[in-house]
Amino acid sequence: MALNKELLDILACPQCKGDLELSAQEDGLICRACELVYPIQEDIPIMLIDEAVKLDQWPNTSSD
Ligand SMILES: [Zn+2]
């Protein structure tokens, strides 16, 4: 069910090419540099800047 960790290693933020981190609920990939979250839908990360959600508008992230 959880996103493959090797896949997570391969994926990078499409905007800054930086590392992504899995959200607490494993339903999004967080770019801390851009403060964006790329949603994961049915185990498929949506790596589109247009589909990304602002980190402060994402309900399932801790802020630390
Ligand atoms: Zn980024």
State the Cα–Cα distance between residues 39 and 20, nearest whole angstrom: 12
pTM of the model: 0.84
Confidence bin at 5 (pLDDT 50/70/90): confident
Residue 37 C-alpha to ligand 1 middle, in angstroms? Answer: 9
Q: How far is the CA of 25 from the centre of ligand 1 (A)?
A: 20
**Higher local confidence (pLDDT), 9 or 17:** 17
Report the percentage of the chain scoring pLDDT > 90.
66
What topology does CATH give the domain 5-57? Answer: N-terminal domain of TfIIb (2.20.25)
pLDDT tens column, 18-28: 999 999 888 99
Q: How many residues does the chain have?
A: 64
The 3-state DSSP class for residue 44 equals strand
Average pLDDT over residues 30-55: 95
